[in-house]
Amino acid sequence: MLEKLFQLSKHGTNVKTEILAGVATFLTMAYILAVNPSILSAAGFPKEGVFVATVVAAVIGCLIMGLWANWPVGLAPGMGLNAFVAFTIVFGMGATWQTALGAVFVSGVIFVIISLTPARQWIINSIPRSMKLGIGAGIGLFLAIIGLEEMALVVPHPATFVTLNAANILAPSILLGCAGFALMAILDKRGIPGGIIISILLVTIIGMIFGVTDLFTGFQSQYNGIFSMPPPASGMFQLDIMGALTGAMAAAIFTLLFVDFFDTAGTLTSVANLSGRVGQDGKVEGIEKAVLADSVATVAGSLAGTSNTTSYIESGAGIKEGGRTGLTAVTVGVLFLLSLFLAPLALSVPAYAAAPALVFIATYFMRNIKDIEWEDASEYVPAVLAAVVMPCTFSIANGIGAGFLAYLVIKALSGKHTELNPGTIVIGLLAIPYFYSVSSLA
């Protein structure tokens, strides 16, 4: 049944590998169960309700992605988008959290409409090869900075923006994180399957044995232990759609849509490169189903009470472990569902144990950059710009927007305008209103 549903042999994989890959992806994504409620509750969202909504959105997204699209990609409410909803729409614009959810819903519906038309595949398949490679490398750098910050190895600095956390470099949590990263590389070099999972679990156990982390960090004190009943879904169907359909919210909705679409496009094209889903013609196999799964999950998440749901770049952990089909995504979805009842256990994997996986995966994504056309400045300059802007602005969409705008201008003014395809022109021009909307909301 699984062979027929997921075409395991066609993709050169098996059930064990796919399940292990799903566990690896889940462990690197599980932080969202704690982080998303923390960010959105600061803007008035009910914290317990956001926890439930995070699970609901992830389960729906992963099951659609796995069972229908057959992609090894996990989905959950996206980092960055949740902060935009909380701190820009609610705090910056003075909207209620219900209106903010309405904006998420509207952007999701528009995303679904785009995903049902040939436009979504046309735009994504129009991305030049050099830009796809640059985006993949940028996502690797983005993962690296997230992982290093989660490990507390790098910290903010007023002069250099980021710096080494020299004062705490010998802290047990940082040393354990570094050891976990090294172990992942060693196990990978020795060809031992499940190296990422083994490292995360081993570092977690060692940290608990030596008291670096409490055994159970529970969502709240009343959920201490291993099992718990799910918290109340207090954010379910609380969105204010009419409040979002105003001129004042138009820029916010456009920003949500642009970021969600191009975060998804960037992540899926990079995953496609790593999992062998790019054909000889440069087109991505089955991209239309994957994009639709992402957009439907955003609508479902807004109804449940959380910000935009998106494809996770952390899915690279599962792909690195050999995940190639939707069974990986289904495994992630099942584990998210179980976390409703195992909230304390799901939240007990510390950041210093899971974050090294992001840095390790980053090294895998960075291999994309070697195939960029380095003899042509009109190709490598925009690609490198996209890669650099992503981690520096903490946004995949910013990197894609800057890269494509540069690609459009450089090609047009350097006598290579004939190399521009309509899709590339559209994306480059869309970057202009995107950056304008970002500026107007700042």
Q: Domain locations in the chain?
A: 12-441
Per-residue pLDDT of the chain (442 residues; tens, 9 = 90+): 888 889 888 888 999 999 999 998 998 888 788 778 877 888 899 988 998 999 999 999 999 999 999 999 999 998 778 878 887 789 878 899 999 999 999 999 999 998 888 877 777 777 888 888 888 788 788 878 888 988 899 999 999 889 999 999 999 999 999 999 999 899 888 877 677 778 888 998 899 888 887 655 544 444 455 667 777 788 899 999 999 998 878 888 988 888 788 778 878 887 887 777 776 666 777 788 888 999 999 999 999 999 999 999 888 888 888 899 999 999 999 999 998 887 666 556 787 887 888 788 788 778 778 889 999 999 999 999 999 998 898 777 788 889 999 999 999 999 999 999 888 898 889 889 888 877 876 6
Q: pLDDT at position 150, please?
A: 82
In 3-state terms, what secondary structure has residue 256? helix
pTM of the model: 0.73
**Tokens at residue 246, please?**
């105003």
Q: pLDDT at position 219, please?
A: 45
Q: pLDDT at position 268, please?
A: 86
Q: pLDDT at position 243, please?
A: 93
Phi, psi torsion values for 162, nearest 5 degrees: -130, 150
Rounded (10°) angle between helices 351-365 and 250-274: 70
DSSP H or E run through 361: helix 351-365
How far apart are alpha carbons 111 and 256 in whole angstroms? 10
Q: pLDDT at position 216, please?
A: 54
How far apart are alpha carbons 262 and 190 in whole angstroms? 36
Q: pLDDT at position 221, please?
A: 46
In 3-state terms, what secondary structure has residue 84? helix
In 3-state terms, what secondary structure has residue 313? coil
How far apart are alpha carbons 37 and 381 in whole angstroms? 39
